[in-house]
């Protein structure tokens, strides 16, 4: 693994700085507070070619890999402007269609998605299954004419109401009827406006520009053209999407941690108390130094996971550990930064506390850290299964 970035990778990583000259943290917050998706920023990202980072160039993308997607996402998070929709859309949906879709599906969806004209969401979580995705009950029941009737419910689906299509993880065989628990999964590309779909926004306390939704399917008519991959063999595709989600979670937290600490260092150098800058006091300096160290360690682990992914090597251990490390490091970074600001840290003017809810969310989503500890204990260290 080469730790040096190529000139192209460096440009991708530093893109966030140029984007923030027009669409900065203040712009992101203005949209987040009114629950409005930042269309202008998204359009600029599309125009600059970053939505299709992992999409083959034959379909309007750049044909790059997980490392470049990580660098892009981490680079914009460094400026305090994360977009969760870029994780579920540009990475988890578009790249999978580019990898597993039919030629017709690639031509139908990818050029428009790369241009920003089509948005995707990813629908897996269910009210009664939660983390136990094996037990999802959303069922696409095969019909005698070779079609499917999709029924069930999903919850906490990011950007569902604003997306044009959803990648829906369903079962075509109930989990009670399969030989192996991973059998019977099928992924479908579903038109979000199709008959039989109802969506309800979920009121959230956290301030984000993307909305969360409950999505209900009632005998939604689907055909073979909606199937992504093979019927009943979708678990492998699903598995391919989860490691990138964890890798990009690590990138997001690392970037937000750096953004918070950058603000704190600037403030701590300028703020004078007891005749010296407060940054000189070890009570503030040491927590920041520790947080900086942990953020950079998490970032390196995420990059290792991305490198393994791009080289078709197992990366589950690194992806999960990167998400775990980055979520914890991001929280410490924001907390240490907040302490530097004193009372000012809780004001809108300085905007530091606003960072905390999002980094705290990453301990719970897209998968809680308790389950990641379980995964590391069992699959990395060889300990007995704990659940």
Report the share of the chain in percent with pLDDT over 90.
94
Contact 113, 120 (CB under 8 A): yes
Instruction: Specify the DSSP class assigned to residue 181.
Output: T
Q: Per-residue pLDDT tens for 271-319?
A: 999 999 999 999 999 999 999 999 999 999 999 999 999 999 999 999 9
Instruction: Specify the pLDDT at position 387.
Output: 84
User: Half-sphere exposure of 281 toward its Cβ, with a 13 Å CA cutoff?
Assistant: 13
Cα 314–chain centre separation = 20
In a domain, 101, yes or no: yes
Same domain, 308 and 346: yes
Same domain, 183 and 258: no
In a domain, 387, yes or no: no
Instruction: Specify the pLDDT at position 241.
Output: 83
In a domain, 214, yes or no: yes
Q: Which domain covers residue 200, as residue numbers?
A: 120-233
Same domain, 219 and 317: no
**What backbone phi and psi angles, to 5 degrees, belong to 200?**
-130, 125
Contact 176, 134 (CB under 8 A): no
- d(Cα 375, Cα 381) in Å, to the nearest integer? 9
Instruction: Specify burial of residue 320 (Cβ count, 10 A radius: 0-12, 13-18, 19+).
Output: buried
Containing H/E element for 227?
strand 227-228
Cα 205–chain centre separation = 19
Q: DSSP letter string over 99-158?
A: HHS-HHHHHHHHHHHHTTSS-EEEE---TTTTT-GGG---EEEE-TTS-EEEEEEEEEEE
Whole-number CA gyration radius for the chain: 21
| Contacts with 65 (C-beta within 8 Å, 6 or more apart), sequence order | 54, 306, 309, 310
Same domain, 305 and 368: yes
Instruction: Specify the pLDDT at position 240.
Output: 78
CATH number assigned to the domain comprising residue 177: 2.40.110.10
Same domain, 216 and 109: no
Containing H/E element for 171?
strand 165-171
Contact 329, 291 (CB under 8 A): yes
Instruction: Specify the pLDDT at position 23.
Output: 97
Nearest to 77 by CA among 204, 211, 249: 249
In a domain, 196, yes or no: yes
Instruction: Specify the pLDDT at position 217.
Output: 98
Instruction: Specify the pLDDT at position 238.
Output: 84
In a domain, 1, yes or no: no
CATH number assigned to the domain comprising residue 95: 1.10.540.10
Number of domains in the chain: 3
Instruction: Specify the pLDDT at position 42.
Output: 97
Instruction: Specify the pLDDT at position 349.
Output: 95
CATH number assigned to the domain comprising residue 316: 1.20.140.10
In a domain, 385, yes or no: no
Q: Per-residue pLDDT tens for 38-71?
A: 999 999 999 999 999 999 999 999 999 999 999 9
In a domain, 31, yes or no: yes
Instruction: Specify the pLDDT at position 209.
Output: 96
Same domain, 241 and 214: no
**Alpha helical stretches, state H, the chain:** 7-13, 15-20, 25-33, 39-47, 66-77, 84-85, 94-100, 103-114, 235-270, 282-310, 316-341, 356-361, 369-375
Residue at which a domain ends, from 82, 114, 146: 114
In a domain, 376, yes or no: yes
Same domain, 94 and 21: yes
Residue at which a domain ends, from 184, 215, 233: 233
**What backbone phi and psi angles, to 5 degrees, belong to 28?**
-60, -45
Contact 355, 259 (CB under 8 A): yes
The pTM for the full model equals 0.95
Residues of the chain with pLDDT under 50: none
């Amino acid at each position: 693994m080469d730790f040096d970035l190529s000139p192209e990778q460096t440009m991708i990583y530093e893109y966030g700085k140029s984007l923030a000259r027009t669409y900065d943290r203040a712009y992101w917050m203005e949209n987040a507070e009114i629950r409005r998706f930042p269309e202008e920023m998204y359009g600029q990202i599309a125009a600059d070619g970053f939505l299709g980072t992992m999409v083959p160039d034959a379909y309007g993308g750049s044909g790059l890999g997980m490392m470049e997607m990580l660098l892009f996402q981490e680079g914009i998070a460094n400026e305090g402007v994360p977009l969760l929709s870029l994780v579920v859309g540009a990475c988890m949906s578009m790249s999978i269609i580019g990898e597993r879709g039919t030629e017709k599906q690639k031509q139908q969806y990818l050029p428009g998605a790369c241009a920003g004209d089509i948005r995707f969401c990813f629908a897996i979580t269910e009210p009664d299954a939660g983390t136990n995705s094996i037990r999802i009950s959303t069922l696409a029941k095969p019909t005698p004419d070779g079609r499917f009737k999709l029924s069930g419910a999903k919850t906490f689906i990011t950007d569902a109401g604003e997306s044009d299509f959803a990648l829906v993880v369903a079962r075509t065989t109930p989990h009670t009827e399969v030989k192996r628990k991973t059998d019977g999964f099928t992924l479908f590309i579903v038109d979000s406006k199709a008959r039989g779909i109802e969506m309800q926004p979920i009121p959230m306390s956290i301030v984000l520009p993307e909305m969360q939704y409950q999505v209900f399917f009632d005998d939604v008519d689907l055909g073979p053209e909606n199937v992504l991959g093979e019927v009943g063999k979708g678990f492998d595709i699903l598995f391919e999407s989860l490691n990138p989600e964890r890798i990009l979670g690590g990138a997001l937290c690392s970037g937000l941690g750096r953004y918070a600490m950058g603000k704190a260092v600037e403030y701590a150098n300028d703020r004078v108390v007891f005749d010296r800058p407060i940054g000189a006091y070890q009570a503030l300096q040491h927590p920041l130094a520790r947080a900086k160290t942990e953020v950079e360690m998490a970032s390196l682990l995420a990059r290792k996971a991305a490198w393994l992914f791009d080289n078709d090597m197992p990366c589950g251990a690194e992806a999960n550990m990167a998400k775990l490390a980055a979520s914890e490091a991001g929280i410490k970074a924001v907390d240490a930064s907040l302490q530097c600001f004193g009372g000012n840290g809780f004001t809108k003017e300085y905007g530091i506390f606003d960072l905390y809810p999002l980094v705290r969310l990453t301990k719970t989503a897209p998968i809680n850290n308790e389950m990641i500890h379980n995964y590391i204990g069992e699959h990395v260290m060889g300990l007995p299964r704990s659940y």
